[in-house]
Structures are given as C-alpha cells and as structure tokens.
Structure 1
Amino acid sequence: MPEIILTTLNARHIHASLGLRYLYANLGDLQSRAAIREFTIDPWPIDIAERLLAERPRIIGLGVYIWNAERSRELVALLKQVSPETLIVLGGPEVSHEWQDQPIVAQADYLITGQGDLAFARLCERLLRGERPAQKVIEAPPPPLESLQLPYAYYTEQDIAQRLIYVEASRGCPFKCEFCLSALDRSARPFARDSFMQALEQLHQRGVRHFKFVDRTFNLNPQRSVALLEFFLERLDERLFLHFEVIPDHLPQRLRDTLRRFPAGSLQLEIGIQSFNPEVQGIINRKQDNGQSRANLWWLRTETRAHLHADLIIGLPGEDLQSFAHGFDQLVALAPHEIQVGVLKRLKGSPIIRHSEPYRMRYNPAAPYNVLSTDRIDFPTMQRLNRFARYWEMIANSGRFRQTLPLLLGEQPFERFMRFSDWLFDTTGQVHRIALKRLFALLHDALTGPLSVPAAPATQALEADFSRSGIKGRPAFLPRQSGRVGEAAEARDRRSARQARHH
C-alpha cells in the first residue's frame, strides 16, 4: 500500500490533474512509495475519506482549487477526525494566498504555497524519516523549469482513452490583468523545447489526439508557437484536436499562415477579450489593442477553420450595464463560435482586491467568490446578468439553436437576449434543468410573443433545429396535423413519450 497518496477532487471525471502528475513525477526515490488517487466533487466526502484511509497512507497530499474548496474542507475535517495520525499536506491556488483564516489550513498539518513540484518531495522525505518540521506553511518559489521531471508518462492508458490530456509548453504570464492570479507572475517561462517535443511525441505515439494546452499566452512567442503547430500538422489525422489560449491582439503573419493550414474540427482557440472598454482595461491593468483584437478575431473567423471561443467578464470595476452590453454586441458581430459570458470572481491573491472599496465591489463569501454588486451594477441587476450568462450557455453555446439564434438576437443582441432572459425566468423560475423539448416550446413562445418575431419564420427555424436535436416526438409548437396521417403521427408521439418515461 502507498505511504503517500496524491489526491484532488476534479470538477468532472473527464479532467485529469496535471498538478498531481507533476508532484508524482518529481518525487524521486519516493515515487515507488506513492500513488495518485483522483476523485470528482460528486461523491460524499465521507466516502472519499473511507477510500483514502483504506490504503493506510502516512501522508495525503491534497490539491485545493476554487471548484473543490468546500468539499476539500469537509474531506480534511473527516480525515483528521477519523485518522489524526495521517499527515495532510495541502497545496494549490485556493490555499496559496490568504490562507491565514482558512479553516482547511488550520485542520491540515502542512501547507505548501506556490508551485510545490519540488517542495512537496522534500517535505515528504523529512516526514517519512520521522521529522516534524516546525514550520507549517512552506513557501515554494517557482522552480527552475529545467530541474523538473515532466509528468506526461504518468497519464495512464485509461486517462488517454477517457479523459482530457493537459500539457503546458510554458508557465507564467507577462501580463498583469488584475482579475487573474497570473498577474503575480514576473514573466512567461518556456520549457526546454527538445524535451517537451519528445514528451509530445511519446503522448502521440501512445494514442493521444486531444491536447489541451494550459499556457496562458500560447502565441506570445510566435516562433515557438509555429514550431508546435508544425509538429502537429506533420501528424495530422481526423482525430487530432488542439486547444490553445491566445492573446487577441498578437497574430503575426507567419502564425496566420500556419493557422490557415488546419482543417475544420482540429483546432480550438480560446480568446480572452474580457472587456472592450478602454477605461475598464486601464483600471484592471489590462493592455489590449481593441482595434487589432477585433481585426484579428474577424480574420480568424473568416480566414481559418478554427473553432473560436471568446471570453467576456461581467462585473469588472468601472464597467456598467451599458458598457458590458456594448462590448457584448461588438463580440457577437465578430461571430465567434462561442462566447463565454463569465461573472467576475475574486480569486484569492489576485490584485483585483485593491478595487473593492473604490468601486464598492461586493463578493460572495463562499466559493466561487463571484461578484454580487458594484457601484455600477446593483445586486438585482447582477442576478439578471447571472441568469443571462446561464441561459446564453444553454441556448447560444450549446449549438442546438443555430437557425433560431439569429432570430432571437436580431439587430440588438444584448437587449433582446436580456429581454428573453428576463421573460424566461419570470415564466419558469428556473435557470437549470429545463427539459430540452420544453425549451423549444418556450423559445417559440418568447419569439412569437415578447420578441415579436412572425410565427412562420420562428416556427420554421425552430423546426429545423428540433429535427437536428435527436429528440423523439413532435414539438409542441407545431400545429396539430389533421386526418389519418396526423392521427398516426400523434399516436407515434404518444408512444415515444411513454417509452421515454419508462426508460
């Protein structure tokens, strides 16, 4: 049985923790005495505690993140109650800053703040020798990247078959956007090119075809970016899929020429716009050429076959409803395939905290620490925007309503979708778990009602989307068919509904 267990609670099973694998890869001689055990946030903490303690580890290293903070706190409390002799070592961004008043830190034995790739191994060596360092909180500076063992060999065959494979060509970020923890970095540091490319080649030979790069600034160094893209173009097949996060205003010609060569379905680019308001960008120390960003996004949309995922943030200091709406409408006009509408979160340690009082930023005291109100957006309006974001994900980003969405947005995308969002919540009182068949009917009611779309085009668009959805039965918004053909169709619909309920 392992003496050291490395564990975390992932948001979903499809995620595989890159951080745990870095810790495991750099344990040195202790690696044979350690194991990785991953869970999700869904099981009860008491069941996770039972499974961890069944292996009788001497040390449990737990990665704590914003999405698992509360579950992790419950887990540590249970572990120390049942097995106080088991040593708990915490790490991760959620406990690397503002840890002094966190109950989970008080309950644990040790905390490593920062990048613990090497510091965790050194602590475990001492603990397994029977030493008990007096210093509970260990500050780990960023390690020299050339000193790290890469973790990619420790993705299992099951990981490769069933989960996302995360990789990083660099660490850090040179930009200082204050809503992001990367604002604390001094620069972006690349991994050694030869060893990283060799690791990618080994993953590819093992069957990995979906690579999700976690680099904050993939296109910061175009020469390195092009080399990576060329590596994958040489190995291109119908299964390859790459995800990169890119800077919106930095797209030199050589990089453009390379991006053009990727076929549809092989490349996804995440493009952080966050805000188009220059005053807001200045407040949060975000350097972004908006004109160049718009031009680059439009070029990517029209000249490449990459899937474009663009981000906007609700609730930034200095941004009011009108400013956000204007930015949203600009982004819709540029036609990225997805627009991620996110509500600002106050990540522990991020410099955004300095704006709390000047802009009366009020945050949820519990994870995920989302902004509740500002001096420009009051709490009821922020709640409306939260619903807007949720419904946008449900309808626009789902890809299910390609024909219907243009009718829904019209010439005033933000105003019309906000009107729809308000109506949908007033009608249903729900922001989750709206059955898809019911959602089609609700969209028909909204389009032909408060949004004043003529019935014929609304019905035609919804029927086209419904036929692509794979839903059994006849949509409620279509008129009843007459005669024997209609009776037979309705009978089939009733049978389908009974079968669906039965299953």
Structure 2
Amino acid sequence: MKVLLVGINAKYIHTNLAIRYLRNSIEELPIEVSIYEPSINNHFDDVLMNIYIQKPDILGFSCYIWNIEMVNKLCSSLSKVLPDTKIVLGGPEVSFETVDYLKQHPYIHCIIKGEGEIPFKKVIQAINTGVSIENIPAVMTKNTDNNMGEVPDLTDRIFPYNGEDLTALSQQILYYEASRGCPFSCSYCLSSTTHGVRYVDVEKVKKELELISQATSMIKFVDRTFNCDIDKTIDILTFIKNLDTETTFHLEISAHLITEELLNLLEQMPLNRIQLEIGVQTTNEESVKAIQRSTNFKKIKEIVSRVNHFNNIHQHLDLIAGLPYENFESFKKSFNDVMALKPHKLQLGFLKLLKGSKIREESGLHQYKFNEFAPYEILESKYIKFHEMIKLKGIEHLLETFYNSHKFEKTMEYLHGKLGNYFEVYEKIYEFYQEKNLVGANISHNDLYQLLEEFSELVDVPKNVFMEILKYDYLLHKRTNTLPEFFGEKTKLKERVFEFLKDPSNIEKYIPHFSDIRPTEIYKQIIVEKFAVNPISLKEEVVYLLFDYKSKEGLFEKPRVLEINI
C-alpha cells in the first residue's frame, strides 16, 4: 500500500511539520510512505499532475486556512482520475467540521480531528487490514463523528525530520516544537480550544536542536508561548546560546512572563542567535479583556526597551485590527503605542474568525461581518467600518514597504520625529498613494525612493536635510556610482578617492581588512559620497562618508559607514 502525504505551504521557503510527524509515525508499518510539499504559488495543474503520477492508495492533505481552497479543488479533480484512492484530510482547518462537510464532499474518505499522530496510524492500519475506521477516536466519516481523540504524550514525541529532509531543506525554514498547548485562552486563537501545556523532554530538545541547527539558517519554534515554563526556557536558551552555529531561532514569547534571569541570558546571546515575537495585539484594555488575553503593556514596554538596548536580538511585535471594542481611533492609539517601542518589525494583522474559535461563536455580539471563506477575515463590525479596514490594509502594505523592510530606516525615523505621530506618517503616505493611483501597484526600488522624495514636499520637513537622509538609506542598500537623478548632481570624487586609497595610512586607519588589496579592487567594494548634511548626526555640515560593503554590521547586516577626510 502506498501513502502520499501532501502539505501545501504558503511560500516555498516554508516547510510542513505535520506531514513529517505523520510520515515518521507510520514508517514502521509494511507500507510505502512519501511526502510532497508544493506551495499555493505553484500552478494547480502541476500539483495535480505530480500527485496523480504517484497514484497513491491513500492520499493525506494537511489543511490550513491558506491552502484549503486549493486542497478542495485538488480533491475534487483527483477523485475523478484516481477513483480508488482514499482521501484523508486533517489539520486545524477541517478539525471543527461536521459530518455535513463529508456529505458535501463525498469523495473524501474521512477527516482526522485534532492531533493526528495516533489516529492517523490507526486509520492506515485499519485500511491496510480491511478493518472499519468508524470507531477510531478523532476520526469523522460520513456516518460517525468521534470528535477529538487522545493526544500523544510528548515525552515519546517522534522526531519529525530525517536525513533526507535535513539535506534538502537547507534553504528553507525548519519548524520545531518543544511544547504543545498554551497557558492562555485568547478567544481568537484555536489554542483556546485545548487546555494545558505538554512538553517535550528538555534533553531530547537539545539533542534534536543540535542536529537541525546544522541544516538551516532559520528554525522557528511553533510553541504558542515558548517561555511559559521559565526553568525549561532558561535551560533550552542556555543550550542555544552555546551552540556552534550561525542559525537563528525564532521564538513566540509572552513578555510579561520574562524574568530578570531570562533578560540576563538574552543579553548574552550572540548577534542574531534568536528573534523574539511578542503578541501585543492591542493596548485597548477593554479589548484585551474581551478577548480573554493576559497581557501587561507596561511590562511589555519595559521588556522591549531593555532588549532593544542589547542590540543583539530582532524583536517582532504584533497588532490585530478589528478586535472587539477597538474602533479606528483606538487602533491608531494602539499603533502609536507599539511603534513608540521601536520594534524591528511591526506586523499588522487582521482579525480572522477561525472555525472553532470562541470569537467566531461571539460574532453576533460584536456584529461581525466576515468572509465566509478562508481565511475568514472580518469586513467590518459595530466598532470599525469596511472603508476604515480598507485604509488599514493599505497602511499595512506601506508599513511593510517602508518600515519593516529596513530599506528606509533613517528616513522613516526622521519622518516619525518630524510629524510626531507614527500612524499619521503612514496615513499621509497612503493618501498620497491614493492621489497618484498607486495603491496596490508594484513599484520598483528606485521609484520608492523617488516617491518619498515627492512625498516630502507635502509635509513640513526641510528638503535639503530629508534628501541627504534618503540618499544615505539608498546607499546603505545599493552600491552604485550613478545615483538616480532626483538626488541631484553627484560630486565627482573618483580621483580624490583613489588618492585616498593609495595612502597606506588611510587603509590602516579606516579599512585595514583591505590592506593586501590594490586600490582598484578596493574601489569596487566601497562608495565614498559627499553629504551636505550629516545624515547620522543631522548636523548641517559637509561630510564624506565611506560605505564599506564588504563589512556588514548590526542585526540587519548593513554596510559599515565611516566618516573620512578626503
């Protein structure tokens, strides 16, 4: 018997943890099992063909909000060309369905609800031996709905990866879990449907992390609250700190659970060894209470500020638009509150009324209107209207482009300070985009800088200072001897730069790592630019800055910049 497990990811760089657990849970059985991982960006016909040519006896799909539409289409088509193949669905997007779903999709053999390792193995064994699956806990067929079944003891949790995975996935994100469950019960999250937290043995975690940390540059923990057990957290992070690896570990944490001991450990982390994701979601206390969230924004401010000063850890903060009791003005305040913390990334998400979540059950209370198809985003509510959500969607795109990308870091910092209101900066840029019919347009790298140059004329900022800061950001991200025309006439410095590079004392003082390289070769790896305003100090003075593109610095590995005399 041949089993094919399919995980359709949102992006090529992602990997599916679930199908690997399922594969490894049944590989001891007398069957052939394989996995297939396309993304939602693959052509439908290509995915259909690749599944068809394998002609599996059992076809399993891992279902999520980002792939369920494609999964349903594939199941419909495959049932016609592979009528003898038994199709099995599992995952959060189908775990809260009823028997009616199977009646509407009669070609689906069964659905496995909740955690799949135990029931999936039993289903495969039953099908392989000709036994009925209808009494297996957590399995739903057209005739029975056995609801959620037993959950596995994570002390015996199967290692999801194998040697082939670790060789093939070097350019992708590897996902890993040290625990399942969440100590909190946020009403918009599916973790609220289960209770308690189960942990993988810490020594087992260390052994597995040491192995996979040699296979990829990014490992993301899927633990809902990584630091809910402080002793285990300290133990694992101490191990991660001491690993001989260049891998970055991404953790989702609760800031108000961070202790002084953990802060001291975070300060000792090697540069970019970990990333922290902190879900603020809102600073509206009425909203926090309504979604049953445990948070303390005063504590979050303290923690984020202290970690920022360590200069070794990327901090990613989350907000959700559309929460109960948060209108447009309240969301502006939440946005400004969080931006004032200067996160390295602010992810602006939009409330989704997920199947099985408590907030979906309460949708009538808040007069939520939402899309009936995945990902079930809200359209409007009694607190916020659709046209306001449209504006927030536009602002989210601009935030990604101009803030989260770090390509305009100094420029946006300057605009934030001059306008005095973070939200207003992005709102004004959004209105500027609207006037130029650019909302939703694909805009080139150079054109983005030119648009900011045009935008600066609409706000109260000194143009001469703004343009020098913008030029500084441009050169941090692109080595070029031909700046775009909107930066003005470029000072001709080539001869003076070569004279500078021919002097060994200058090399020794500023760029000693180039000491054994000829000036002509050094010139290809640097830029020297004249600035009428110092873009770092903002003093109105002429400075010459050398951008060393071979030497990268900081969390985002930007070129080293030196002020030189030339």
Normalising by structure 1, what TM-score? 0.90
Q: Which one-letter code corresponds to 1:110 in the other structure?
A: C
Q: Deviations over 1:83-134 (max 9, x none)?
A: 1111100001111114555578544111101011111111011112234535
Q: After TM superposition, list the pairs within 5 Å mapping 1:193-204 onto structure 2.
A: 193-204=202-213
Greater relative contact order structure (CA < 8 Å, 6+ sep): 1
Find the aligned partners of 2:440 and 2:448 in 1 and give their Cα distance.
11
Aligned residue for 1:453? 461
Q: Deviations over 1:457-490 (max 9, x none)?
A: 221121111112227653242235699x9xxxxx
SS in 2 for 1:179: coil
Q: Is the 8 A contact 1:7 1:37 kept in 2?
A: yes
SS in 1 for 2:446: helix
SS in 1 for 2:409: coil
Q: Is the 8 A contact 1:152 1:199 kept in 2?
A: no
Q: Is the 8 A contact 1:172 1:182 kept in 2?
A: yes
Q: Is the 8 A contact 1:437 1:471 kept in 2?
A: no
Change (3 A) 1:184 1:211: same
Aligned residue for 1:48? 47
In our comparison, the structure showing a higher alpha carbon Rg is 2
Structure 1 residue 324: Cα displacement: 1.1
Aligned residue for 2:558? none
Q: Which one-letter code corresponds to 1:352 in the other structure?
A: I
| Residue 448 of structure 2 corresponds to residue 439 of structure 1 | yes
Q: Is the 8 A contact 1:165 1:208 kept in 2?
A: yes
Q: Is the 8 A contact 1:178 1:352 kept in 2?
A: yes
Give the root-mean-square deviation of aligned CA atoms.
2.3
| Residue 73 of structure 2 corresponds to residue 74 of structure 1 | yes
Q: After TM superposition, list the pairs within 5 Å mapping 1:313-328 onto structure 2.
A: 313-328=320-335
Find the aligned partners of 1:349 and 1:253 in 2 and give their Cα distance.
37
| Residue 291 of structure 2 corresponds to residue 284 of structure 1 | yes
Structure 1 residue 211: Cα displacement: 2.1
1:240 to 237, 247, 250: 247
| Residue 366 of structure 2 corresponds to residue 367 of structure 1 | no
Structure 1 residue 431: Cα displacement: 2.1
Change (3 A) 1:154 1:283: farther
Aligned residue for 1:118? 118
Find the aligned partners of 2:376 and 2:445 in 1 and give their Cα distance.
30
1:184 to 183, 187, 193: 193
Q: Deviations over 1:233-276 (max 9, x none)?
A: 22244x13111111021111111111111122221000110011
Aligned residues: 481
| Residue 180 of structure 2 corresponds to residue 171 of structure 1 | yes
Q: Which one-letter code corresponds to 2:109 in the other structure?
A: D
Query: Identity, % of aligned pairs?
Result: 30
Q: Is the 8 A contact 2:321 2:348 kept in 1?
A: yes
Q: Deviations over 1:174-204 (max 9, x none)?
A: 1011111111120111112222222223334
* Structure 2 spans left out of the alignment, 5+ residues: 135-139, 495-566
Q: Is the 8 A contact 1:281 1:287 kept in 2?
A: yes
Find the aligned partners of 2:353 and 2:231 in 1 and give their Cα distance.
34
SS in 2 for 1:396: helix
Q: Which one-letter code corresponds to 2:89 in the other structure?
A: L
Q: Which one-letter code corresponds to 2:14 in the other structure?
A: H
Change (3 A) 1:105 1:167: farther
Structure 1 residue 209: Cα displacement: 4.9
Q: Which one-letter code corresponds to 1:53 in the other structure?
A: Y
Aligned residue for 1:413? 422
* Structure 1 spans left out of the alignment, 5+ residues: 486-503
Q: Is the 8 A contact 1:211 1:243 kept in 2?
A: yes
Q: Which one-letter code corresponds to 2:43 in the other structure?
A: W
Change (3 A) 1:53 1:94: same
Find the aligned partners of 1:44 and 1:208 in 2 and give their Cα distance.
27
SS in 2 for 1:39: coil
SS in 1 for 2:348: strand
Q: Which one-letter code corresponds to 1:266 in the other structure?
A: R
Aligned residue for 1:24? 23
Structure 1 residue 147: Cα displacement: 4.0
Find the aligned partners of 1:402 and 1:389 in 2 and give their Cα distance.
17
Structure 1 residue 370: Cα displacement: 1.2
Q: Is the 8 A contact 2:2 2:31 kept in 1?
A: no
Change (3 A) 1:25 1:322: same
Structure 1 residue 290: Cα displacement: 1.8
